[in-house]
Amino acid sequence: MRTGYADLPLHGGKAPRWLFDRMVKLSTVIVEALLTEYSKEEFLKRMSDPVWFQSLGNVLGFDWHSSGLSTVTAGAIKEAVRKISKTTGLFAAGGKGKYALKTPDTIINYAEKYSFNPLPLIKASKLSAKVDNSCIQDGFSIYHHTIFFTDSGKWSVVQQGLKSINKRARRYHWLSEKVVDFAEEPHTGIDGGGKGKKVLNLTSKKSNKNKSGILEILKQKPEKFEKEIIKLTMPSHHIIEISDILFKNLKKISLKAYSSEINDFTDILNIKGTGPKTLRALSLTAAVIYGAKPSFEDPVIFSYAHGGKDGTPYPVDRTGYDKTIEIIGKAIKKSKLGNREKMEVLRKLSNKFIGGKDGL
């Protein structure tokens, strides 16, 4: 697992059109190079690596440490993938705000056009967002969500949350082949935001007994659940006080749960209305009834290529940027025609300056 503590301060403004257009062009040739040299699965793996993703954003010329690197880089890659989806079977959906909400519809549209099953991908999109927004209560609210996926059902998610109080952001990475259980340590990495002191982490293995307690509570008859929770004396040292619990909401959730088939914790996450406050209340209730405490451990733990939008370490070199796009683009075209000489040169350069046989 690759995790990091890179600070991602919130920055306002948009990427200028001249830069974003170049970012899309360079992203397109980089994605094509990865698909030519490796595979769609390798592309997804790279996107799930927070260190690689950060480096890619820097190579594309965005602010090396800002929250915008996540959203604009994901947007550029999404546009690049969209351009070549027809011939590659690689797709992207989501984005910021309203575009994130349209993710299921976008997946369905691609599935109907290219004949694959959209349901597992929609489930992955919804649950990954729900986990990072509700199961990990680190104070960062998800506002950007992008899923990259293949026609064979494999996927990678890159999403970001913001904490308005200290104006910081945190980016979460997922990869389908690494997810055994959506609610148990599913991430390939988390970047940014610094380490929090009061983080309810229901994805930690240390929270398994607590989650089992929540499951048992919601399997009870709603009347019994209501009587038990009213009798509870809530300890003051927890991250939620008795005054924070809305019994009306808990009663609604218990009724929905009891009338549904609840087999595991992810079934609870699929119940409409189980947001952060509800899960905190249920977690605390399980801790009091069963003595099963949850984990409060925070799971979080190349800017010289073309310069950066904010002028750090120097203003974007437009001429050099365009030359990079041209060189890689020509190398890919020749490689597809059987002439791999230029691609081999690029590989040798990546080995020399980045290290490792898979430096590209």
Q: How far apart are the C-alpha atoms of 358 and 334, rounded to whole Å? A: 20
DSSP per-residue letters across 3-14: ------B---S-
Least confident of 86-90, 95-99, 123-127, 271-275: 271-275
The alpha helices in 89-221, defined as continuous H runs, are 98-101, 103-114, 119-130, 208-219
3-class state of residue 296 by DSSP = coil
For tokens 């990865």, the residue is 34
Mean pLDDT of all residues in 213-234: 74
Cβ proximity of 165 and 146 under 8 Å: no
**DSSP string computed for 274-290:** --HHHHHHHHHHHHHHH
pLDDT in tens, 256-308: 888 888 889 999 999 888 888 888 888 887 887 788 889 988 887 644 455 56
C-alpha closest to that of 135 among 202, 214, 234: 202
Q: pLDDT grade, residue 21 (50/70/90)? A: very high
Q: Is the pLDDT of residue 236 over 50?
A: no
CA distance 133 to 39: 31
- The pLDDT of residue 340 is 62
Mean pLDDT of 108-115: 97
CA neighbours closer than 13 Å in the CB half-sphere of residue 327: 12
Q: What is the mean pLDDT of the chain?
A: 82
**pTM to 2 decimal places:** 0.81
How many Å separate Cα 107 from the centre of its chain?
17
Helix, strand or coil, per DSSP, at residue 145: strand
Q: CA separation (Å) from 23 to 58, 60, 319, 337?
A: 11, 5, 13, 26
> What pLDDT is stored for residue 314 in this prediction?
60
DSSP designation for 206: G
How far is residue 51's CA from residue 45's CA, in Å, rounded to a whole number? 12
Q: Tell whether the model's pLDDT for residue 10 goes beyond 60.
A: yes
Residue 42 in tokens: 């390798």
| Separation between Cα atoms, residue 162 and residue 147, nearest integer Å | 18
Phi, then psi, of 335 in degrees rounded to 5 = -65, -40
What residue ranges do the domains of the chain occupy?
Answer: 1-201+297-360, 205-290
Rounded to whole angstroms, the Cα distance separating 107 from 19 reads 28
- Model confidence at 352: pLDDT above 50: no
User: Using an 8 Å Cβ cutoff, are 48 and 156 in contact?
Assistant: yes
Peptide bond into 313 cis (omega under 30): yes
Q: How far apart are CA 186 and CA 231, in angstroms?
A: 35
Instruction: Render pLDDT for 337-346 as a digit per residue (tens, 0 to 9).
Output: 666 665 565 5
